[in-house]
Structure 1
C-alpha cells in the first residue's frame, strides 16, 4: 500500500506544480508581479558565442510537441540553456535544431556534449524547455546546473535532445551519436555531486597523471612521503572515483572514445580525461608490482554466487575506456565490432539491446551492415548481430563473448551472451600471434545452427584440480602456478606429454618461466625481460625496472610508487611478477587440462569437462571447446555440438593446430547449435 500511495502523492505534487506555473503565467499576462519573484529577469539563451538575447518564455500547459527532425540533413536537437545570475533559479532553455551536414553553421562546432548517467531513476526534478515542464532525474538537473554555471563564465552550453518515444527517431539518432560527440567542442563528463573523498581523489589523479617534467634545466622533483594510513586513503579515494556508476554504462564508451577534448567533473572538481588515463596507467603499474593493495581483499564468505564468477579490478572500466580511446585515435579509426562487444558485456544498459547499439558507432558499418532496430527483441538483436559478424574476416572472435553452453536466454551457444556476467575474461587477440588459421572463415546458418568449416583437433582427457580463485592474493597465484607446474611434470613423467615431439617442453623443467609465461599470457614476447642467473640457468633473477619503464612510458614511476605504495613496501620486483600478472589477467575462471592424443597442455574454460572436443575453425584466432549434444536433445540425423568457450595451446600445440586448420576440406563442417 505504501508504494502506490507515494506515487499518487508525487502525481498530485506535479499537478500542483503545473497549476502554480499556470497561475504565474496568467499573472504575467495581466502584468501583475508576485512580490519577491524574478519574473522580469531577462535571460540569455546561449548556443556557442553567437547566440543573441532572448526573454524567457512563459510556462505553457499541455505536453511538449517535438518538431520533426530532417534525417536527410542529419539534424539533431541541441538544448540551449538560459543564462542566469542566480544559481538557484530553475533550469530553462530551448531545443534548437542544427544540421551536422551544414558546414556553414558555426553552432555545429560550438556545442558541448554532456556524458552522464541517470542516477536514481526517479523523475522528481523539473526543468522548463520552450515553456514546457520536463521532469528529469536529480543527477541530470545537477549536471545541467553545473554546466550553466560554467557556461556563464565561458561559452555556451548544449546537449542532444532525443524524443525517446519515437522509435524511428531514436534509431536514427543512435546512428548519429558518433558524429555528435566527435563534432562537439567539448565532451563534459558528469560523475555526480561531490562526496567525501572527491577532492582527494581528483587532486591525486591530477598529480600522478600529470607529473612534473624531469629533464635538463627543469626544477628538481620533490617526492613526498606518506604513511601507510595515508596510502590506504589514497587507494580508497581513487577506488571511490572509479566505481561511480558512470563508468559502467555502455553508451559512455562511444562518447569518450570519440570526444577530442574531454573533461571529467565530479561536483566542482574536474580533471582532463587524458590526465585521468595516465593516472589509470599509474594505478595499473602499482597493482602489477604484486603487493597486497590496501582495501583490495574481499571476504569470500560474504560473496553471492554471481560475485564468485570472475573478479573485476575497480579500475577495469577506466582502463577499458582508455584502450578504446587510444585505439580509435580519438575517432579517426574504426574498431572491429567483435572486439567492441567483448567490451560491452562488462557494461550496463537500461535497454540491454544498447549493449550492441552503443558500440556500432565505433565500427565500420560498410562491413557489418547493422543498424539499430528497437522493434526487435533482445534475443533477435543478439542473433542477428552474430549472423552479421561471424562470416566476416576476424568475425569468429565474437565467439569469445558467448560463454553460454546451456543456451540461456533463448540464445544459441554461438550468439553473444551480453546478459550474464563473465565466467572468465576473454582472450585479447593479437593478429601477429593468435591466428590459428589464416584462411578466410566459412560460416553459414541453418535456422539456429551455425555451420562452420573446421576440424576436431583433440578431446580433453584430464583436468588439473587446482583453479585460480576469483580474487586471489599474490601468494595464492604462486600456489596455483606451483600446482599447474606439478600437473605438467606428472603428465610428462607418465608419457602424456611427449618431449621428443615438442621442442619447448623440456623448458617445463629448465627455464620453466619462459614456457609458462608464453602459455599463460598467450604472448610470445612477454618473457623478453626475464633473466636467469649466469651460474644456474634455473634460478630466475628479480626483474630490472628498465623493462617496466618501457611498458609505462610517460609515467614517473617513482612518483606513482610514493603515492600508491606504503614506504615499507619492498621495491625490488618479484621474480614471478609477470607470472602472477598473467594468471590474474586470464587465469580466473579457467583451468589447466591435457589433450592426450596430441599430448599437449591446454588452457580451458572453467566449465570444460573431460571428453569435450577441442576444435580448430577456419579463420579463427583461437581453438574452441565444443560439447556433443545428446541425440535425444539435438537433431536426430546430424551430429550437433554446443560452444563451451575459448581455449589456448602452448606454442608447439598451437603449431600443430595451425596445420590442422589449414588442411580442413570443404566437407569438414561442424554444426554448432
Structure 2
C-alpha cells in the first residue's frame, strides 16, 4: 500500500473527529444536552455577572471565594463562544456539588513554564494563566457554550488547604466528567498523515486478529476480511515472526504489510507526537484511567483514546520501532517513555490487581511532575490498597522528604516492604535537579525518573525462597529492622561500561577488564564459561552447545559466540551501564549498585526476591540497592552451612 493510507474521509469515525466545532452533532446527543442544560442553569445565577464591564487594563484581579470541604464541592468554568479566536477569553466561575451530578467536561493539558503572562476575564475580573492554557481554552471557543473543569483555574492554587482537598477528590472529578479533552498543540501540516498512519496500524491489528479468529473457527478468511486485507495480515504476521529481517528488505516489507515507506514523514511525525511532554505527565495516568471518555485534540482533529492506545500497542508490540527507528535520540527516548505510559494505562483499565500503590509508583516512575510530591499524590486516586488514603494523606504543606517517608512507612505496614526495598537504596548524585533530599536509605526517592535498574526484574527471582517477610519500623518510623542472612563481602569491582552506545571496541575493552576481575573467582574458568557468561547476563546464558557451555577459546566465545546472540549481548551491555561487576571474598560473581565498594556486604532478607548490598554504619546498615549474585537467586542462601539469621537495622 505504501503511501496509499486511508483518505481523510475515513478519519470521520467514532475514534477520530473532523475539525472541532465544539460539539458532536452525530453522536452522544444526550451528553451534549446535559452540558447545555447545565450551562443554561448556570447562566441564571445572579451572582455571576456577564463580563466584561470595563476595559481590560482597568479590571481588578480575580479573588477566589472559599470552597467548602464537604459534599465534594468544585468550581466549573462556563465559557461562551466567540466569533474570533483573538477575542478576549471570557468566562464565569460556578460552584457545584458532585453529588448533584453536574454536566461538565474536563480539560487535560501541559502547564508548560509557569509564566502567567496571559489572562482570562472571569466574572468581570482578570485571572492570570499560562500561554499553554490560553491556547487550550481558545481551542474550545467556537459555536458552543462549554462547562469545563480546569485544574489551574478551578482550584485556588495558592490556598494549600483547598488544594489538598481538591487533589484528594480528583478521582471523583475525572470519573464524573462526561468527557476529558486532551489539548496537545495547534495544527501541524502532518496531523492528518499521523492520524491516517495510526488508523492503518489499528486496522492492520484488527485484520490480524480477525484472521486468527477465522482460522480458529475453521472459517475461510475471506468470510471475515477482504482478500487484500487478509493478504496484508498474513504477510505482516510472517514479517513479525521473522523480526523484519534485513535492512535492504524493510521498505518492501512495510509496503507489503500495507504500511507506508520507512522514509514517509508520518513515521517521524508520529514519533514526535508521542514524544510531547503530555504523554509522560504524572497526572495523566489518573485522568485517562478514570475518565469515561477521553479525546485527544490534535490541531484540527480529535481522536479517541482507543485509537491512540491501540495504535501505540501495535507500533511497539509488533516491532515497528526497530524498523522505523528515529534518528533523533531525544525524541526516541521521550517516545519510549510515552509508550510506557500509554501501555501502562491499558493495563490499569484491564487489571484491577495492578493498582496497588507500590506497583503504581514503580510502573510510572518514569513520568514527570513539576512538584515531586505529586509522584505519590497523583497515584493515590488509583491505588486499591486498603487504608492508603488515610495513611498517605494529601498535604502540600509537607516537605518532599516527609511525603516519601510517610509513603514508605505505609508500604512497610501494608506488607510491601520487600518489594519497596528492591527499588530503594542510596542514589547517585544527580545533575538534572536542584532538589536535595535527606531520606533514609530504605526509602525510595520517587522524584528520580530513572528507576532502579535491577529492581525492575525482581519478579524473575526468589532469593529468599519461601520465607516470609520479617520487618518492622523503629526509631519513630525512620529506621527499618529486617531479619535475613549475610551471604558474603564484596572483594573486587570492575568499572562501568559508560554508555549503551559504546562502540564494539569499547565493549570489548570493558569486557577484558571485567574478565581480569572475574579471574579472581574460584568459579571462573576459560575451559568452562557457563558461570561467567550466566553472571554477565544476570541469569541469561547464551547456549553455545547442547550442554549450555563451551570449551572453545574464550576470545572466540566472546567475539563470535555473542555476535549473533543480540538478546544476551543487549542484556550484558545494559547491565554494564547501571551496575558494577563484582567478585566476593568467597569467590562468587555478581552485579552490585554503582555506589558499592570493597568491604560492603551482600545479604538476603526474609521474603526478599533479590539479594541486597548494604554498608555498615555505626552498628547499623545503609542500603545501597538490589544486587545479582550468581548462585544465590533462588533460595540457595538458606542452605549455606554457616547461614545464621541476623537482624539488619537499615537507616
What is the TM-score of this pair, normalised by structure 2? 0.71
SS in 2 for 1:171: helix
Which residue of the partner structure matches residue 471 of structure 2? Answer: 442
- Structure 2 residue aligned with 1:657: 637
| 2:650 corresponds to | 672
Report the Cα distance in structure 2 between the residues aligned to 1:230 and 1:313, rounded to whole angstroms: 19
| Match in the other structure for 1:23 | none
Is 1:244 the counterpart of 2:272 in the alignment? no
Matches within 5 A, 1:593-632: 593-597=582-586, 599-629=587-617
* Equivalence for 1:259: 291
- Secondary structure of the residue that 2:629 maps to in structure 1? coil
Q: Does 1:354 align with 2:381?
A: no
Structure 1 residues 506 and 426 mapped into 2: Cα distance closer, same or farther (>3 Å)?
closer
Tell me, yes or no, if structure 1 residue 224 matches structure 2 residue 255. yes
Please give the residue correspondences for 1:137-152 in structure 2 after superposition, counting only pairs within 5 Å: 137-149=130-142
Query: Taking structure 1 as reference, are residues 396 and 476 closer, same or farther at Cα in structure 2, changes over 3 Å only?
Result: farther
**Structure 1 residue aligned with 2:160, among 156, 167, 181?**
167
Is the 1:461–1:611 contact (alpha carbons within 8 Å) kept by the matching residues of 2?
A: yes
- The answer to whether the 8 A contact 2:421-2:442 is kept is yes
Which residue does the alignment assign to 1:427?
455
Task: Spell out the pairing of 1:262-661 with structure 2 (5 A cutoff).
Answer: 262-285=294-317, 293-296=325-328, 313-329=333-349, 332=352, 335-343=355-363, 345-364=365-384, 366-368=386-388, 369-404=391-426, 409-420=437-448, 422=450, 425=453, 427-428=455-456, 433-434=461-462, 436=464, 438-447=467-476, 448-465=478-495, 467-472=496-501, 475=504, 479=508, 486=515, 490=519, 495-496=522-523, 507-508=530-531, 519=539, 575-583=564-572, 587-597=576-586, 599-629=587-617, 634=618, 639-650=619-630, 653-657=633-637
Q: Is the 8 A contact 2:464 2:610 kept in 1?
A: yes
The Cα of 1:647 is off from its aligned counterpart by: 0.9
SS of equivalent residue, structure 2 residue 137: helix
Q: CA deviation at 1:290?
A: 6.7
Residue 35 (structure 2) pairs with residue 48 (structure 1): yes
Aligned partner of residue 398 in structure 2, secondary structure: coil
Q: Where does structure 2 lack aligned partners over 5 or more consecutive residues?
A: 1-31, 54-58, 212-220, 233-253, 430-435, 552-562
1:179 alignment partner in structure 2: 172
Alpha-carbon RMSD across the aligned residues, in angstroms, is: 4.3
**Alpha-carbon separation, structure 2, partners of 1:662 and 1:312:** 50
Match in the other structure for 1:5:
none
Mark the CA change 1:277 to 1:374 in structure 2 (over 3 Å): closer, same or farther. Answer: same
State how far apart, in whole Å, the 2-side matches of 1:662 and 1:272 are.
61
Q: Is the 8 A contact 2:405 2:439 kept in 1?
A: yes
Q: Alpha-carbon deviation of 1:439?
A: 0.7
Distance 2:344 2:525 in 1: 42
2:184 to 175, 191, 206: 191
Q: How many residues align?
A: 547
Kindly tell me: are residues 449 and 412 of structure 1, through their superposed partners in 2, closer, same or farther at Cα, counting changes over 3 Å?
same
Paired residues of 1:87 and 1:145 also in contact (CA < 8 A): yes
Q: Deviations over 1:577-607 (max 9, x none)?
A: 322453466553123223342x433222223
For 1:535 and 1:398, how far apart are their aligned partners in 2? 37
Distance verdict in 2 for CA 1:66–1:456, change over 3 Å: same
Residues in 2 aligned to 1:663 and 1:63: alpha-carbon distance in whole angstroms: 70
**Given that residues 422 and 626 in structure 2 are in contact (C-alpha distance below 8 angstroms), is that contact kept between their aligned partners in structure 1?**
yes
| Structure 1 unaligned regions, length at least 5 | 1-44, 299-310, 500-504, 521-526, 540-573
Q: Distance in 2 between matches of 1:406 and 1:578?
A: 28
- Closer, same or farther: CA 141–649 of 1 in aligned 2, 3 Å: same
Name the counterpart of 1:557.
Answer: none
In the alignment, the residues of structure 2 paired with residue 88 and residue 422 of structure 1 have an alpha-carbon distance, to the nearest angstrom, of 42
Structure 1 pair 653–400 and aligned structure 2 pair: CA distance change class (3 A) = closer
> Partners of 1:401 and 1:270 in 2: how far apart?
39
Structure 1 residues 653, 416: CA separation in 2 closer, same or farther (over 3 Å shift)? closer
Aligned match of 1:27: none
Give the match for residue 135 of structure 1.
128
The whole-number CA distance in structure 2 between the counterparts of 1:657 and 1:197 is: 58
Task: Say if 1:441 and 1:535 are closer, same or farther in 2 by CA, change over 3 A.
Answer: closer
The answer (yes or no) to whether the contact 1:339–1:398 under 8 Å persists in 2 is no
CA shift in 2, pair 1:421/1:100, >3 Å: closer
Look up the match of 1:568.
none
Contact 2:186 2:299 in 1 (8 A): yes
1:229, distance to aligned residue in structure 2 (A): 9.1
Change (3 A) 1:652 1:276: same
**Inter-partner Cα distance in structure 2 for 1:363 and 1:68:** 29
- Cα offset, 1:442, TM superposition: 0.9
- Shift of residue 139 of structure 1? 0.9
Give 3-state SS (helix, strand or coil) of 2:287's partner.
helix
Query: Which residue of the partner structure matches residue 30 of structure 1?
Result: none
Residue aligning to 1:213:
207
Q: CA deviation at 1:357?
A: 1.3
1:141 to 1:83, Cα distance in 2 relative to 1, 3 A? same
Q: Who is 2:237 aligned against? A: none
Q: Helix, strand or coil: the match of 1:51?
A: helix
Q: Which residue of 2 aligns with 1:118?
A: 111
CA shift for structure 1 position 361? 1.8
**Offset from partner CA, 1:58-84 (integer Å, 9 cap, x none):** 336544343443433122222232234
Q: Is the CA contact (8 Å cut-off) linking 2:589 and 2:630 kept in structure 1?
A: yes
Q: Deviations over 1:118-175 (max 9, x none)?
A: 12322122222233321211111211222344857xx865445111122111111111
- TM-score when scaled to structure 1? 0.69
Displacement of 1:434: 4.3
